[in-house]
Amino acid sequence: MAKLLILGSGVAGQTAALHAKRKLGSKHDIIVVSPNSMYNWIPSNIWVGIGAMKKEQVIFPLAPVYKKQNIEFHQAKALSIFPEGDTSSSKPFVEIEYTDPSKLGQRIKIHYDYLINATGPKLNFPATKGLGPDGGFSYSVCTANHAEHANHGFQELIQQMKKGDKKKILVGTGHGTATCQGAAFEYIMNLEFMLRRHRVRDKAEITWLSNEFEVGDLGMGSMHIKKGGYITNTKTFTESIFTERNINWITRSHVTEVEKGKVHYENLNGEFKEIDFDFSMLLPPFAGAGMKAYDKNNADITSELFAPSGFMKVDADYTPKKYEDWKASDWPKYYNNPKYPNIFAAGIAFAPPHAISKPQFSPNGTPIFPAPPRTGMPSGTMARIIVYNIVDMIKGLEDRPVRGASMAKMGAACLASVGKSVLDGSAASMTVFPIVPDWERFPETGRDLNFTTGEVGLAGHWIKYLLHFGFMYKAKANPFWFIIPE
């Protein structure tokens, strides 16, 4: 009997756990460790943050799902990995600490034959002074609680605007190396839509502030699409949407500090500037979960398993290279650690070989460019492929992973909500292939123009709304959940 241990129950962890159970049945043990008792369908946090959905609609308790699936669940956080075991046993294990109130703080060891690290991002608010809702001055929508809190602030703002006050709203990235611009984009568009709904749009000055070189970069180095007889760029697409909605934009900026009502930032020219706000939602940069690793003699081997960012090292080419020398083949295929090949990382938890957007530095040496996004579809797909490879190895069909899931060979569909309404809502619907540009295969734009597309319309909103229910249904492992693709 083999033991598969999965750390994290977000998009990647939950996908991995359910597929593993389906493929392995009760002949093998599947164990999930995750600190939160609730699952959160993070993309819908955007709608919680503007009051279009309740927090309860985007979360559900995990324990009953795992019970139903006969998956062992520990509400705990992983602290350290011992891939060679320790002095008492050579069996690899992970040390965990319970967050479950009934066992709070207790630590135990969980042994494994295969490990999937799907711990996602640590929200690194401390990277920017004053950033974030916990002791800072800006809101976030990264968790359901953050989004609920942001909505309280937003509703207050609307009330003040209804009394005639003019307000300044700032949305974007709170650090020069932040990612997830797509989520911030959705938030600014939904917020603007809501202000129109409340008939206070004329009272708001809305500004986008980001670390992108140009709007529409989205951490993917932007995309080219065919539109109106031209091959055009997502910069044009995004500027058009912002202009249509009367949103100003400031790009190439690294937020250095957030004070009450004021953001300080440095731009790529090396200038230090500030901008006032009454309401701001700024996304933090991401780091890895911060686990440690030790060898059998208890020597610290964290740097062998994890990059300095805290993300897990996998089968990527981490050799430092100039942007011009980046290749699609730098990106990992199987997502396992070269030294400990039974340890895998899925979703945001794996360390990318480099950014996708071109690295840019201010004259002061400040890096101002987005980190690469790892959105829901690739996170789920790589989790599924990792599980298929592990299942083949457990069943003795293969002795190493054989199915690849490189982001340079994978496409993604992205539906960015720009207004939540069944009759007059809208979404920017984008497909991109491949996610990481492959300049050797597609010399013109780095991507396949037949499968890299974008359009704005109500249909995108319908799909996004249906996907909310579809993905919640799937994550709950309801009947035939596996028909719903990642």
Ligand X SMILES: Cc1cc2nc3c(=O)[nH]c(=O)nc-3n(C[C@H](O)[C@H](O)[C@H](O)COP(=O)(O)OP(=O)(O)OC[C@H]3O[C@@H](n4cnc5c(N)ncnc54)[C@H](O)[C@@H]3O)c2cc1C
| Tokens representing residue 160 in the block | 């003040």
Of 376 and 401, CB closest to ligand X? 376
Cα 69 from chain centre = 26
Distances (CA, A) of 30 to 24, 374, 472: 9, 25, 21
Per CB under 8 A, the list member of 255, 410, 436, 475 interacting with other proteins is 410
| Tokens representing residue 110 in the block | 């969980």
Residues 156-215 that bind ligand X (CB under 6 A): 180, 183
Per CB under 6 A, the list member of 141, 206, 255, 328 interacting with ligand X is 141
- Residue 339 near residue 333 (C-beta atoms within 8 A): no
Q: Write down the residue that tokens 């208890």 correspond to.
A: 298
Please measure the distance between the N-terminal and C-terminal CA atoms of the chain and give it in whole angstroms.
28
Residue 284's binding partner among other proteins, ligand X, none (Cβ under 5 to 8 angstroms by kind) is none
> Which uninterrupted H or E stretch holds 418?
strand 412-419
Per CB under 8 A, the list member of 458, 470, 473, 481 interacting with other proteins is 458
Compute how many other C-beta atoms are within 10 angstroms of the C-beta atom of residue 253: 24
Q: How far is the CB of 452 from other proteins (least distance, A)?
A: 10
Per CB under 8 A, the list member of 282, 429, 437, 438 interacting with other proteins is 429
At position 321, the amino acid (one-letter code) is K
Taking 3-state DSSP, the helix, strand and coil percentages for the chain, each rounded to the nearest 5, stand at 30, 25, 45
Of 108 and 458, CB closest to other proteins? 458
Helices (H) and strands (E) in the chain, counts: 9, 24
When asked if residue 431 is in the footprint of ligand X (CB under 6 A), the reply is no
When asked if residue 7 is in the footprint of ligand X (CB under 6 A), the reply is yes
β-pairing, 72-82 vs 122-123, is unpaired
Binding mask 165-194 for other proteins (x = CB under 8 A): ------------------------------
Of 46 and 161, CB closest to ligand X? 46
Q: How far is the CB of 193 from ligand X (least distance, A)?
A: 16
Choose the stretch contacting other proteins; rule: CB under 8 A; options: 82-90, 183-191, 253-261, 406-414: 406-414
Residue 390's binding partner among ligand X, other proteins, none (Cβ under 5 to 8 angstroms by kind) is none
Binding mask 447-486 for ligand X (x = CB under 6 A): ----------------------------------------
DSSP string, 325-367: G--GGGS-SS-B-SSSTTEEE-GGGBPPSS-SSPP-B-TT--B
Residues 392 and 297: their CA atoms lie apart, in Å, by: 32
**Contacting positions for ligand X (CB under 6 A):** 7-13, 33-36, 42-43, 45-46, 77-78, 118-121, 141-142, 180, 183, 289, 291, 347-349, 374-377, 379, 414
**Contacting positions for other proteins (CB under 8 A):** 236, 239-240, 242-246, 248-249, 377, 381, 385, 405, 410-413, 423-424, 426, 429, 431, 433, 451, 453, 455-460, 462-463, 485-486
